[in-house]
Chains A and B, each alone.
Chain A
């Protein structure tokens, strides 16, 4: 059990026997009311989203999960395939409900795979990641309308906005939560 006030984004909860990942957490203290926390959670089996308002003092059931450091190999129609870096065991994470993770998966990169009741159910994406830029147009001179950024395509297919000086083949660090450009990375 965990006190609702201690729940953070990324906490795993168990609701009616289903595992949920907390994707948004907001504290709310209404005037003349108790302290509450508003949670937005994703069901890791079905992908459906649930919002819940709970008193910060209440206890809720957290899902007992393990994290396994695993190397991303490839994906097919149904699964993301990983290999546990310790045991070399193959892990299959069902893609259902995890479409938003695909753009952050780089072949050969190590991620934490979340295991619940012996089943791989989720992937933890690092807060910041480096990607190669595979498609970028050169800045158009005199283009002031779009401000000082332009869209580029990354090696995983993700499209993000970056400063105009970024070229095809550059490596950029991206904040994976906000999709904001952080910096250019030189090896």
Chain B
């Protein structure tokens, strides 16, 4: 490591300390849960890493590295932990070398009991500003060539507004699969009957919306279509889920939900995603107990998962995530 990276890693340490201070001061309990789990929340969009564990008789037992601490943190919430936060390593497999992915990365995840996604949004803004000032970083940064004004409040757009402002498309008119397929094809993308609604949505979003999102200030995108399979609370009416993502300079930093607690919605998420998971490179058992616990015992709450390395990358004006991760090994070939 050269002296530049040593400076970066001292800043990283200061950021970890400031983050702990922020959440401790607000009464959040810090927890640290295991890296290994016998079953996970099935998410068809994430590939996991399996670990070979053997007991003292030499019998193998499959375990999986957590792609997020959600699987344990929601259990704690259900046991009455109250507000909790955690800074932990997470592991994801098979992701492309984009400069913003690394197979082992650091996640800041927090849950607030009795809160909704807009409460988390306010806390996210406050945390970001606290961290920025603790590190003595100025009001603007350059993120991959784009100048971003970091002063709060951040910009807010609903997904519907984002579609209309960037691409002139009415999102609600695209809730029908056929209309969405036409829109994707109209943008030049190849479309087939094998495309799910999620796949078509992202073909449109990634081609016509995301590259044109306003990047001059940090941006919250709120209210995602309920048809995207997540564990975010579906609003009455069934069209939208209470979810936001934070983008800074075009990079996704955090993903937040009001947590879904409806038993049948949770059960169908686990069933459908679990089904898709069977053809994953590394299939794993879905955590059926958690599905039951989430519906039965978890209090109304909001959870946010924040890519800590990406946040640092943005604050320090680094081009690649590897520059803020000590001993990063995954190179960017793109």
- Please determine whether chains A and B interact with each other in the same assembly: yes
Q: Which residues of A contact B (CB under 8 A)?
A: 5, 15, 25-38, 50-56, 58, 60
Q: Hey, which bits of chain B sit against chain A, CB under 8 A?
A: 43-45, 95-98, 101, 187-190, 192, 198-199, 202-203, 205-207, 210, 228-230, 245, 252, 255, 334
Q: Is the CB of A30 within 8 A of B203?
A: no
Residue from the list B188, B205, B229 in contact with A50, Cβ < 8 A: B188
Chain B residues, Cβ within 8 Å of A5 = 96
Decide: A27 near B97, CB < 8 A? Known: A32-B228, A52-B207, A54-B189.
yes
* Contacts A32-B230, A56-B96, A60-B190 given; does A26 touch B334 at CB 8 Å: yes
Q: Which of A32, A34, A51 has the most CB of B within 10 A?
A: A32
Contact, CB under 8 Å: A31 / B206: no
Tell me if A29 and B95 are in contact (CB < 8 A).
Answer: yes
Q: In the complex, A33 Cα to B97 Cα: how many Å?
A: 17
Least CB distance, B246 to chain A, in whole angstroms: 10
C-alpha spacing A33/B225, complex, angstroms: 13
Given contacts A5-B96, A27-B96, A27-B98, contact A53 B207 (CB under 8 A): yes
Give chain B's interface secondary structure class.
loop
Interface of A is mostly: strand
Which B residues are in CB contact (< 8 Å) with A60? 190
CB contacts (< 8 Å) of A38 on chain B: these are 206-207
A28 engages B206 (CB within 8 Å): yes
Q: Are B207 and A30 in contact (CB under 8 A)?
A: no
Question: Apart from A31-B245, A33-B198, A34-B45, what 13 extra A-B contacts exist at CB < 8 Å?
Answer: A25-B334, A28-B206, A28-B210, A32-B228, A32-B255, A34-B199, A34-B202, A35-B45, A37-B96, A50-B188, A53-B206, A58-B190, A60-B190
What residues of chain A lie closer than 8 Å to B203, measured between beta carbons? 36, 53-54
Q: Which residues from chain B contact A30 at a C-beta distance below 8 Å?
A: 202, 205-206, 210, 252
CA distance A52 to B101 in the complex (A): 22
A-B contact pairs, 15 of them (CB 8 A): A30-B252, A31-B245, A32-B255, A33-B45, A33-B228, A35-B45, A36-B202, A50-B188, A51-B207, A52-B189, A52-B190, A52-B207, A54-B203, A55-B199, A58-B192
Complex Cα distance A37/B189, Å?
A: 11
Q: Are B188 and A52 in contact (CB under 8 A)?
A: yes
Which residues on A sit within 8 Å (CB–CB) of B97? Answer: 27
Contact partner of B188 (CB less than 8 A), chosen from A35, A36, A51, is A51
CB proximity of B43 to chain A, nearest CB, Å: 7
Contact of B43 among A32, A53, A55, A58 (CB under 8 A): A32
Tell me the minimal C-beta distance from A16 to chain B in angstroms.
Answer: 10
Contact (A29, B96) CB under 8 Å given A36-B203, A52-B207? yes
Query: Measured between C-beta atoms, what is the minimum distance from B272 to chain A in Å?
Result: 14
Does B252 lie within 8 Å of A31, measured CB to CB? yes
CB pair A35 B207 closer than 8 Å: no
Find chain B residues with CB under 8 A from A15 CB. Answer: 190
| Pick from B95, B192, B198, B245: contact of A35, CB under 8 Å | B95
Chain A contacts for B96, CB-based, 8 A: 5, 27, 29, 35, 37, 56
* Chain B nearest Cβ from A29, distance in angstroms: 6
